[in-house]
Amino acid sequence: MKIKKHKLMQIIIEEMNKIALENEDQQAKLKATVRTAGQTGQAVKDKTISGAGVIDGVERSMIEQIYNFFNDIAGKENINLQTHRMTIQTSLEKLRKLIDQKPQGQGEPQ
């Protein structure tokens, strides 16, 4: 069977796109890990420091509010975030795709 160069290129591009989509899906998946409060606090602090210069004060405040939101929900009695894992994961994936689609400066008005 002989494949023309154009057809081969098309197949390669399609496969590369599939791999890219799979990688994107993996990025939004929540990992089931167990962490102590101290480990979580240190990880948040380290991530904040590593983003210095790239993340401005307003963005840092937004990140803190999101962190506090999930922390408050998880701290409520009779709430188990693990039972809502798929909903959270799907919402995060939709948010990531939405943000990726908008050109810089085309976000929501403040």
Shared-domain flag, residues 7 and 45: no
Shared-domain flag, residues 14 and 58: no
Given a cut of 60, is residue 106 above it in pLDDT? Answer: no
The dihedral over CA atoms of 109, 96, 46, 41, expressed in degrees to the nearest 10, equals 90
* Structural domain contains residue 76: yes
Residues comprising the chain, all counted: 110
User: Within 13 A of 19's CA, how many CA atoms are on the CB side?
Assistant: 6
Dihedral over Cα of 34, 38, 39, 43: its sign: positive
pLDDT in tens, 29-76: 667 677 787 887 788 778 777 776 777 888 888 888 888 888 888 888
pLDDT band (50, 70, 90) for residue 21: low
pLDDT in tens, 28-39: 566 767 778 788
Domain hosting residue 2, numbered range: 1-30
pTM of this prediction?
0.53
* Structural domain contains residue 15: yes
Which amino acid, residue 4?
Answer: K
Shared-domain flag, residues 43 and 23: no
